[in-house]
Amino acid sequence: MDFIAQNMAPIMFAGLVVFLLLGYPVAFALAANGIFFGLLGIQLGLLEPSLFQALPERLWGVMSNDTLLAVPFFTFMGLILERSGMAEDLLDTIGQFFGPVRGGLAFAVIFVGALLAATTGVVAASVISMGLISLPIMLRYGYDRRFATGVIAASGTLAQIIPPSLVLIIMADQLGRSVGDMYAGAFIPGIALAGLYAVYAGGVALFKPRWSPALPLEARRLREPSGSSGTPSVFVVVVLATIAAVLFDRFYYVPHYPDAALDERLVLAAGAGGGFALASAIVNKVFKLGLLSRLAEQVVFVLIPPLALIFLVLGTIFLGWATPTEGGAMGATGALVMALARGRLSLRLTRQAMDATAKLSTFVVFILVGARVFSLSFYGVNGHVWVEHLLTSLPGGQLGFLIVVNILIFLLAFFLDFFELSFIVVPLIGPVADKLGIDLIWFGVLLGVNMQTSFMHPPFGFALFYLRSVAPAHEYMDKLTGKRMAPVTTGQIYWGAIPFVIIQVIMVGLLIAFPQMSLVYKSDQPTIDIDKVKIEIPADEPARAGEQEDLMKQLGQPPAAPDKGAEEPKKSPEEEQQDDLMKQLQKK
Amino acid sequence: MQALLAVSRLIDRMNEHIGRAVYWLVLAAVLLSAGNAIVRKIFSVSSNAYLEAQWYLFSAVFLLCAGYTLLRNEHVRIDILVGKLSARAQAWVDIFGTVLFLLPMATLIMWLSWPYFVRAYTQNEISGSAGGLTIWPARLLLPVGFALLVLQGVSELIKRVAFVTGRGPDPIVRHDPAEAERALAEEIRKIAEGKV
């Protein structure tokens, strides 16, 4: 008995592993573990008999957590979007645009993958669309099978790391940081990762030209009647739109709103440029001016829906018009409107999406409920102290800790999905990271990039699995050329993923070496964070970005309406955020 | 046993209906949240009541759908080991898990959250923030949601005991994870072929 009392935390942790491996639903196994060891602890006199009285309050904290609302919102948005046909249009047209260069289809897949990732965060949809639309074309024109499947699987997983992704939202929630900061911190690493994929694709095109040939002339459908490609016209539109954006910013927005923050200006200027491009494409089409090539017109038309969605979701967040949660709801509403406009929204689809969303968010929140019951007892027996001791005694300080934790997550990701990792493992290692002086946004993004690999590593990676379900498994006849085509083997899909898993590991290393990639979130903190803080403490007046005086007043006083579900531990991160912010402002 | 199986079917049907009704609240929460953001931006009116109503709705979704999700066997498991066992062995794992994990945990939470609701109800507590909502309806979701979960647990238990004693069919809903993807792939294929 004494032995148990002394080593309660490790025993409880070992118990957790056993409970989980039994294969009963994770949520209930977690909660039962917490209750079982809680009772044992009470018996041994380690815990107060009133321990479980705190349970309802903890559950209330889960219920009143606004951030979690983003889970159903983004899930619902993704489910509507994946059947709206947007991804298919994009792949088709962007493939035509990039196709004529060597490796072009691979670039198109990466580009569209990143674009879809920025609208919503669902891996399955991107991979399936690409597997159905791009893969057959790649195979038809002789792409290497490993390279083609690898680039598709990897580009699909970009949804995990490019904002707005559920991983980042949950990571922010578990680490007690604001979602806006997490988004800002993930932006450069996300783009850099897509860039690394593109560099790899470029290297393949250069050194292994036979792996990724250019589209032959007859496959370029959007050529001009005269036979020219129409590509220069696309560049003309891009240049003109950029000029329009700069002019709007210089001569309209800045003179009118001199204190506008940089990201506000960027978002609005991008909107102006996009609007200009759309207007010119419409005018060209309606009046049959023929000033733009068919290709340019088509490129503009397919890019507008995803860009509009990105504006609805991310634009409104960065402008401070909406909280990240509301951004999800705006995106979901936008996706509904778009599906309706395309005539793809049916009662059946809506019901299917709501049904799937309800079940997914229920199991996700229940894992969190289980984790809260578990942590009540685990913290009660000082489990966090044990974990902290275990991890701080690692050699190498910060770096040693980061390396060990990343290897651990990499290995665990073979068995656990990211919800389980975020709710069970992250709360244990987060405080230790904080204590070691590691910036938690950087840390969260790092773990996000790392967990992204779990979608890609053979044999369990979900992206590979989705791709397998749509890649031709038997010999088939190509509809266009009438040639017999060999099937794509599972081995090819697995081997194809390996280079991208390696790129992923390189990215984790780069991010450890260059934390600045994430830490830039601090440079524009006053805009993003002000909104966040103001909206989280619902004031009577809606928040207005950039008015620092107002904020100082607010911070000087205790928050107007602290609320947020009685005495929830959520408060301390909020306070920390404000402290952070104060420091930032003082530096200015 | 037949009487018990009848009870189980009754519970299943109830949670099925509740789940199908409650999932509409997902749409309601989406529209409320987006509407609130738009109205706040354009007309500068906002109230904490809207913010709170959003999580009331979502709480209703995940608490009232807990039983429904269990019925559909969608609470995620780590099945790298169990997935390889026979159907019978899997049923035994579920019997063990339901009796030792699910039922004690859900009953305890249901038990503890009832007085938590009653307190809010008798004192007519109102949320602390300005313009906040009455608290008890949201508190009531806790005992009700966990009661539905307990009932579904009982139903699953009955079905599995019937199976291992040879008096019923294999009740485990097996998700071929590829199935949903296949359906999606089929639709996307249709979209793609309609166009290309």
Question: Which 3 state secondary structure label does DSSP give A446?
Answer: helix
CA atoms within 13 A on the CB side of A383: 26
d(CA B129, CA B111): 28
Residue closest to A59 by CA, chosen among B143, B71, B161, B101 = B143
Strands A476-477 and A484-485: antiparallel
Residue among B32, B68, B104 whose CB faces A35 most closely: B104
Asked if residues A252 and A221 have their Cβ atoms less than 8 Å apart, the reply is no
Length of chain A measured in residues: 588
* Contact residues, chain B, for A355 at CB < 8 Å: 19-20, 23
Which has the minimum average pLDDT: A165-179, A464-478, A519-533, B105-119?
A519-533
Query: Can you give chain B as a three-state secondary structure string?
Result: CHHHHHHHHHHHHHHHHHHHHHCHHHHHHHHHHHHHHHHHHHHCCCCHHHHHHHHHHHHHHHHHCHHHHHHCCCCCCCCCCHHHCCHHHHHHHHHHHHHHHHHHHHHHHHHHHHHHHHHHHHCCCECCCCCCCECHHHHHHHHHHHHHHHHHHHHHHHHHHHHHCCCCCCCCCCCCHHHHHHHHHHHHHHHHHHHC
Which has the minimum average pLDDT: A18-22, B108-112, B137-141?
A18-22
Per-residue pLDDT for A160 more than 60? yes
Q: In this complex, is the C-beta atom of A40 within 8 Å of any C-beta atom belonging to chain B?
A: no
The residue of chain A nearest to residue B77, with distances taken between CA atoms, is A25
Count of CB atoms situated within 10 Å of the CB of A431: 17
Q: In this complex, is the C-beta atom of B111 within 8 Å of any C-beta atom belonging to chain A?
A: no
Residue closest to A122 by CA, chosen among A69, A92, A82 = A82
Asked if residues A121 and A179 have their Cβ atoms less than 8 Å apart, the reply is no
Residue closest to A183 by CA, chosen among A116, A100, A121 = A121
pLDDT score, position A563: 39
Per-residue pLDDT for A566 more than 50? no
d(CA A336, CA A344): 9
- Look up tokens 């200006």; give the residue: A265
How would residue A370 be classed by pLDDT, with cut points 50, 70 and 90? very high
- ipTM of the complex model: 0.92
How would residue B153 be classed by pLDDT, with cut points 50, 70 and 90? very high
> What would the mean pLDDT of B171-187 be, rounded to a whole number?
68
Return mean pLDDT, chain A. Answer: 82
Residue closest to B93 by CA, chosen among A218, A19, A461, A407 = A19
> What would the mean pLDDT of A155-175 be, rounded to a whole number?
89
> What would the mean pLDDT of A166-194 be, rounded to a whole number?
90
Q: What is the pLDDT of residues A24-60, one digit of tens each?
A: 999 999 999 999 999 999 988 888 888 888 899 999 9
pLDDT score, position A540: 39
Per-residue pLDDT for A104 more than 70? yes
pLDDT score, position B177: 54
d(CA B190, CA A45): 64
Question: Which 3 state secondary structure label does DSSP give A82?
Answer: helix
d(CA B37, CA B45): 10
Q: What is the pLDDT of residues B60-80, one digit of tens each?
A: 999 999 999 999 988 888 777
The residue of chain A nearest to residue B40, with distances taken between CA atoms, is A542
Best B25, B105, B108, B156 member to test A by mutation, with max A CBs in 10 Å, is: B105
- Look up tokens 């930032």; give the residue: A584
> What would the mean pLDDT of A403-415 be, rounded to a whole number?
87
Per-residue pLDDT for A382 more than 50? yes
Q: In this complex, is the C-beta atom of A568 within 8 Å of any C-beta atom belonging to chain B?
A: no
Residue % of chain B over a pLDDT of 90: 58
Best B26, B99, B110, B111 member to test A by mutation, with max A CBs in 10 Å, is: B26
Query: Which residues 26-65 on chain B approach chain A with CB closer than 8 angstroms?
Result: 26-27, 29-34, 36-38, 40-41, 44, 46, 48, 51-52, 54-55, 58-59, 61-63, 65
Cβ-proximal residues to A320 (8 Å cutoff; 6+ apart), any chain: A264, A527, A528, A530, A531, A535, A543, A544, A545
Asked if residues A26 and B86 have their Cβ atoms less than 8 Å apart, the reply is no
How would residue A295 be classed by pLDDT, with cut points 50, 70 and 90? confident
Per-residue pLDDT for A185 more than 80? yes
* Contact residues, chain A, for B123 at CB < 8 Å: none
Length of chain B measured in residues: 196
Count of CB atoms situated within 10 Å of the CB of B5: 16
Q: In this complex, is the C-beta atom of A59 within 8 Å of any C-beta atom belonging to chain B?
A: yes
d(CA B69, CA A374): 21
Residues paired with residue A476 on neighbouring β-strands, in sequence order: A485
d(CA A561, CA B36): 18
* Alpha carbon of B69: minimum distance to chain A alpha carbons (Å): 6
Return mean pLDDT, chain B. Answer: 88
Q: How many Cβ pairs within 8 Å bridge chains A and B?
A: 254
Best A63, A336, A536 member to test B by mutation, with max B CBs in 10 Å, is: A63
Per-residue pLDDT for A546 more than 80? no
Residue closest to A47 by CA, chosen among A56, A59, A35 = A35
Cβ-proximal residues to A214 (8 Å cutoff; 6+ apart), any chain: A99, A100, A101, A102, A104
Q: In this complex, is the C-beta atom of A76 within 8 Å of any C-beta atom belonging to chain B?
A: yes
Pull the structure tokens for residue B31.
């529209």
Residue closest to A166 by CA, chosen among A360, A316, A424 = A360
Pull the structure tokens for residue A145.
């099978």
* Alpha carbon of B1: minimum distance to chain A alpha carbons (Å): 25
Per-residue pLDDT for A528 more than 80? no
> What would the mean pLDDT of B79-100 be, rounded to a whole number?
87
Start-to-end CA distance of chain A, whole Å, equals 58
Q: What is the pLDDT of residues A301-358, one digit of tens each?
A: 888 888 889 888 888 888 888 888 899 999 999 999 999 988 888 898 899 899 989 9
Beta strands in A423-491, from DSSP E residues, in sequence order: 476-477, 484-485
> What would the mean pLDDT of A452-465 be, rounded to a whole number?
80
Global confidence as pTM: 0.83
pLDDT score, position A283: 84
Residues paired with residue A485 on neighbouring β-strands, in sequence order: A476
* Contact residues, chain B, for A16 at CB < 8 Å: none
pLDDT score, position A417: 78
Asked if residues A392 and A435 have their Cβ atoms less than 8 Å apart, the reply is yes
The residue of chain B nearest to residue A221, with distances taken between CA atoms, is B196
d(CA A19, CA B101): 9
* Contact residues, chain B, for A373 at CB < 8 Å: 105, 109
Asked if residues A450 and A508 have their Cβ atoms less than 8 Å apart, the reply is yes
Residue closest to A472 by CA, chosen among A214, A157, A145, A156 = A145
> What would the mean pLDDT of A88-109 be, rounded to a whole number?
88
pLDDT score, position B194: 65
pLDDT score, position A121: 65
Asked if residues B146 and B109 have their Cβ atoms less than 8 Å apart, the reply is yes
Type of residue found at A375:
S
d(CA A502, CA A261): 38
d(CA A195, CA A161): 13
Q: Which residue has the higher pLDDT, A402 or A233?
A: A402
pLDDT score, position B170: 79
* Alpha carbon of A187: minimum distance to chain B alpha carbons (Å): 24
Is A354 close to B23, i.e. CB distance below 8 A?
yes
pLDDT score, position B180: 67
d(CA A563, CA A66): 12
> What would the mean pLDDT of A72-95 be, rounded to a whole number?
86
Per-residue pLDDT for A586 more than 50? no
pLDDT score, position B195: 54
Cβ-proximal residues to B83 (8 Å cutoff; 6+ apart), any chain: A23
Q: What is the largest CA-CA distance in chain A?
A: 88
> What would the mean pLDDT of A370-380 be, rounded to a whole number?
91
pLDDT score, position A190: 92
Residue % of chain A over a pLDDT of 90: 25
Count of CB atoms situated within 10 Å of the CB of A311: 21
> What would the mean pLDDT of B82-87 be, rounded to a whole number?
81
pLDDT score, position A544: 38
Residue among A32, A56, A92 whose CB faces B195 most closely: A92
* Contact residues, chain B, for A60 at CB < 8 Å: 116, 139, 142
Highest mean pLDDT: which range of A46-60, A530-544, B144-158: B144-158
Per-residue pLDDT for A401 more than 60? yes
How would residue A287 be classed by pLDDT, with cut points 50, 70 and 90? confident
Pull the structure tokens for residue A435.
């204590």
Pull the structure tokens for residue A190.
């996300």
Is A29 close to B101, i.e. CB distance below 8 A?
yes
Instruction: Give pairs for B117-124: CB < 8 Å, separation 24+.
Output: B117/B142, B117/B143
Per-residue pLDDT for B175 more than 80? no
pLDDT score, position A343: 85
Residue closest to B142 by CA, chosen among B108, B103, B110 = B110
Asked if residues A376 and A61 have their Cβ atoms less than 8 Å apart, the reply is no
Asked if residues A265 and A249 have their Cβ atoms less than 8 Å apart, the reply is yes
Cβ-proximal residues to B179 (8 Å cutoff; 6+ apart), any chain: none
d(CA B29, CA B77): 28
* Helix H or strand E encompassing A3: helix A2-6
